[in-house]
Every structure is written in C-alpha cells, then in structure tokens.
Amino acid sequence: MLTISDVSKSYGPRTLFEEVSLQVNRGERAGLIGPNGAGKTTLFSLILRQEEPDQGTIALEKNAAVGHLPQESAPAGQGTVLELAVAITPEIAELRAKIKDWDSAHPDETIHHESIHARYDQLGGFQLEPKAKRILAGLSFREKDFDRPLREMSGGWVMRAHLARLLTQEPDLLMLDEPTNHLDLESLQWFQEYLRGYPGAILMISHDRSFLNELTTHIVEIRQRKLVRYRGNFDACLEQRAAAQAQQLAAYKNQQREIAHKMEFVERFRAKNTKAAQAQSKLKQIERMEKIEAPEEEERKIHFRFPQPQRSGLKVISLKGVDYAYGPNVIYRGLEFHAERGQRVVLVGPNGAGKSTLLKILAGVLPPQAGLRELGHNSKSGYYSQHRVDMLHPERTVLEEGLDTPQRVTEEFVRTVLGCFLFRGDDVFKKVAVLSGGEKSRLALVKLLLDPPNLLLMDEPTTHLDLASIEALIAALQQYSGTLIFISHDVYFIRQLSTLVVRVEGGRLAHYPGGYAYYLEKTAALPAPARMAPPPAAGVKAKNKEQKRLEAEDRQARHRERKRHQAAVAELEKEIQQLEGRHKELAAELENPATYEKGGRAMQVNREWHDTAERLKELGRQWEQAATKLAETDAEPGKD
C-alpha cells in the first residue's frame, strides 16, 4: 500500500529523518507517535507530496486512493454540510448539482437527464447521500444541520464535516492527523467503533492513548531520527520498547567496553616501535566499527510536587434552582448540583447537551438566569479554557509569565514545569505575542498549575499536548488536593482521574459515584434514552396470569443463561490472570542484562513474550464478548 525507502529530510542543521524506511500494508492500522516537533506532520507532508525528501523514495500502490484529514484549518468552502460530505470527486459534485437544479426547475420531467442519472448511479452517487447522513449523525450533526452552509459553522464542526467526507469516500489509505481533537466523548466512541470495521489501511497521528490502544495493529515511533515499528497497540509498544532499549543499552555498554579495551592497548603501545603497527591496527578497528548509539532516556517523569491550594470547606460549590437558555433554546431549568472537597468529577454526555455551559456556570463565567450559584467556605474557583489565553501579557516572555505567580517557586522549578509542557531550551524566551494558539493554551495551563485554586474547572485540557505532556498533567492533577471538575474526550485521561461521573443530557444530570469503568458498567446495557428517562406514569394495569407465567419462564431462562456466561467470564479471567503473571516474568527477564549473556536466551524469551502478548490480546477480546453477553442477561426488560 505505502512504501517509504531510505528517506532523509532536514531543515538547515536539523535532521528529522535519516535513511528511514516503512511499509504500511492493506488493512493495517498504524499509529504514528513521537514528541511534538519530532516530524510526524512532516512525514505526512512527504507522503502527500506536499514536500520532497532530501533523498530516498515514497511509493503508493498503483491507483490507491489517499484521504487526508489535517490537524487544523480545513477549508469551509461555499457548500452545505451534506454537500461536503457527499462531494467525493468534482465529477460527482457536478452531477449532483445538475440533478438538483433540473429537479427544481422540471419536477415532472426526467427523460432529458437520464444519462446524468445513469452516470451518477454508476459512480455510486445514489448510495452516497444515505451513507453520508448516517456518518454525519454518528459525528453528532443534527438532521437540521445537513443543509446549513459550512461558513456559518465553527472550525471544529467544519473539521467534523471533512472527516465525514473522508469516511464516506473510504479511501484505500486514510491519513488522520489528530482526528479526535474536534470530537466530544460521544462522537469519539462512535468514530472509534466505525474505524474498527474500516475496509482500508489507516495511518494516524494521535496523542490519545486509549484511542491508539483500541484501534492500532502497529505503532510507528519517530525516535533518534528513525522510524521504529512495533507490533500491537500503544501499551504493547511501551513493553516492546522497554525490552529493545534494555537490549540496546547492553549492546552499547559491551561495545564501549570493547572500545575502551582497544584504546587502552593503543595508549600503552602506540609509542613503541615493536607495537606501533598493532596499535594503529586497533585504531582502525575502532574506526570501522558501526557505532551503537546509547538509547534515549525516557521522557522525564515529574518527581516534584506542584504548589497546593488552601483547604476549602466540605461543600465546595452548589447550584440551586438554576435556569439557563440561549434565546428560545432552554438548556437548564431548575438545575441542582453540588460538589464536595476532593471530588474529581468528569462531565459526559452528547454534544450540545450543555456540558460546557454547566462548567461556565460553575466557573461564574455565565451567571445563572434564575437560581443561585454558591461557593462554599474558603472556596476559590479557577477555570481553564481558551479564554484564559486573553489573560496572558503579550510583551512578556514564556518564562516571565511562568514566574508571575504568588507562590514561592524558583526559576529552575518553573523551567522544569514549562519543559514538561513542551517549552524547552530557548522556547522559554519567546514572547507571548508570537506564540501559536496551542502554545498559549499550554502556557495558560502551566500558570494555573503553578497557582491552583481549590476548585479547578477544566474544559478539554489535553488538547495541544503530546503523550508525555498528558502524563505530566495527569501526575500533577493526581497530586492536586483540591476539587476537580472537567470535560474531556480523552478516555485514558478520564480513567486516570475521575472518581465521579456526571452524565448531562436533556437538561438533567445523572450521577454515577465511581470512576469511568463504573459508569460504563452501569450504562452498558441501557439504550441511550433510558439513561435519562422520566419515571413511568401511574395507573398501569396489573399484568394477567398468563403474562406473569411467561415472564417467570423468561426469568428462569435468563438465570440459566446468566450462570453460563458467569462461568465463561470466570474461566477467562483465571486464564488471563495466569498469563499476565507469566508476561510480567518474561518482561522482567528481558530487562535483565544477564539474559543477553546467555546464547540465544534473549531471542527465546522475546519470542515467548510476543506470543504471550498476542494470546492476552485474544483473551481480552473473548472476555469483552463474554462480559457483554453477561451484562445483557443482567438487564431485565423494562428496568432502568
């Protein structure tokens, strides 16, 4: 499908790629990872022929169609949402426009444009619109939005429409640059499921760890100017990389010892006539060696404590009888909400349900139109979103902004925190005025963490962060002693932090007092409308005896079925537990340098480690299927 051979690319003195090669085959789903600035988007540009490599070749399979979703700023154009979604080629767009114009002007005549219809049908045009509508609905577009001009919509919705166009088109190679940035959690889950059945190959850049884990068959990492390919998802990549680094470190140390030994001979005997030739020979041997590079250190994990806020009272914030509407569009009526000290609340729900509105009301950015917002004793709120960018001073440097905090912190500490959020080296001396939107967002995040309030409200804080920076943010928030309420579409981020899930839908809030796994468990068997359904009306007629008998038989059958599924789940969990133990043993052996001193042992262990990982993956799939069937038997019809 795609073959990259011995490609190099530099910009001035900076080399991004050095004789890299890569193969992406049909049906593969490859995730491209690496720190910001490593060259991920540049590699996309090279594949798309937007730039040329300094050397090497990039070849696509003959007649293979390529579709690309950029990270930002896809053009809105002059058409509607639906027209963009179905406009696969200029010819189809032109034929569709002709059919539409003719039907409007001559509603009772068809014979004069049968040839146009035939050609449109031949190109699959009549199937495109229903398919595009299904995809648009999955991406949270409402039916009334289909005929809206794109120029009226925000940049995020324009990007979704372009994504719908690509999915309707189904190119042979789908190239996605941060595709989850513009999706909420609901549409992300739909998109993830849709990609599972995608017929073509996928090459995606993503910093969403959970998304990569769910979809990828391979990970390609940009590391030390090379492309390193790993088999499996992101978690498998981390394990394989650790093993490879241990092996590389052992080989590097062995070579350095060999070089030191030869150099010792050279230094001792180069001045002696009888040994000078041998000393020179040793020097040439060293020069001819293919030098092994020391493995790069892992991205630095933060091992320092962030400043902590003053302790608040038990009740941190309350909303009482709150109303809010945008014109005739009522979002909340009589809303009740409260949060207590130390809670970590994630707001979930469909797009447009009012999550961001709720967060802004809690932050005091939007005052309630009726009802009360009350902060508890000693509570101080802070809100992280794009609007915080306006609080930065354009004439200051990044470092000066970081140091502008009432907390007692050193310059070294501030520079370390800035480094965790991608401001490294001379970047800290950039003026705020020249920073990109993403850089300003990251700087605002740093300032908030350096002087945190005891009620922290965050709207999509992981946007513009790479994987290492997301880990740094998680570590900082896990240390945080205050109350956190946030919105995110990053499932890994949600799983690591949330202790309470609040689902927002239809102007109502449903509370799930546990983490994200608990929320999924409780909602898995419920259809979406049932999650927020009102209580049943009174006065329902009593069931007759026949109905009761049939329902009793059904319950007995479900009980037998449930026991069967329970046994299957328990058996799988037992096997998974045993295999996970063996997998950890093998990983530990691979990390032990002594393993590589035994002839052939490292290769044997590595092979068994890979086999175990594949088996665990398969067992995980079987467990998911068995657990889903068990959950289905647990959900009795008619129960909420």
Per-residue pLDDT tens for 574-619? 888 788 778 778 877 877 778 877 777 877 877 787 788 778 778 8
Q: How confident is the model at residue 639 (pLDDT cuts 50, 70, 90)?
A: very low
Give mean pLDDT, residues 392-399. 90
Q: For the chain, give the percent of residues with pLDDT over 90.
A: 35
In angstroms, the Cα distances linking 168 to 26, 80, 85, 129, 154 are: 18, 15, 7, 9, 21
pLDDT at 335 over 80: yes
Q: What is the pLDDT of residue 529?
A: 44
Torsion 48-52-54-55 (CA) sign: positive
Q: Does domain 315-523 sit in CATH 1.10.8.290? A: no
Torsion of the alpha carbons at 54, 57, 62 and 68, rounded to the nearest 10: -50
Q: What is the pLDDT of residue 106?
A: 65
Give mean pLDDT, residues 542-551. 53
Q: What is the pLDDT of residue 532?
A: 46
Q: Could you give the residue ranges of the DSSP H alpha helices within 87-146? A: 90-105, 114-122, 125-138
What pTM does this model have? 0.67
**Mean pLDDT score across all residues of the chain:** 83
CA distance 639 to 506: 20
Q: What is the pLDDT of residue 640?
A: 33
Give mean pLDDT, residues 159-171. 91
pLDDT at 88 over 70: no
N-term to C-term CA, the chain: 48
Q: Domain residues of the chain, as ranges? A: 76-169, 238-288, 315-523, 555-634
Q: How confident is the model at residue 55 (pLDDT cuts 50, 70, 90)?
A: very high
Q: How confident is the model at residue 417 (pLDDT cuts 50, 70, 90)?
A: confident
Q: For the chain, give the percent of residues with pLDDT over 70.
A: 86
pLDDT: which is higher, 463 or 498:
498
Tokens linked to 212:
């990569």
Give mean pLDDT, residues 51-69. 92
Burial of 497 (0-12, 13-18, 19+ CB in 10 A): buried
Q: How confident is the model at residue 218 (pLDDT cuts 50, 70, 90)?
A: very high
Tokens linked to 23:
């193969």
CA distance 164 to 88: 11
Q: Residue 497 in contact with residue 484, Cβ under 8 Å?
A: yes
pLDDT at 445 over 60: yes
4-22 pLDDT tens trace: 999 999 998 889 999 999 9
Torsion 212-475-228-32 (CA) sign: positive
CA distance 266 to 278: 8
Tell me the three state secondary structure of residue 22: strand
365 φ, ψ (degrees, to nearest 5): -70, -40
Pick the closest to residue 223 from 213, 238, 202, 236 (CA basis).
238
Rg (CA), the chain: 29
pLDDT: which is higher, 536 or 26:
26
DSSP code of residue 274: T
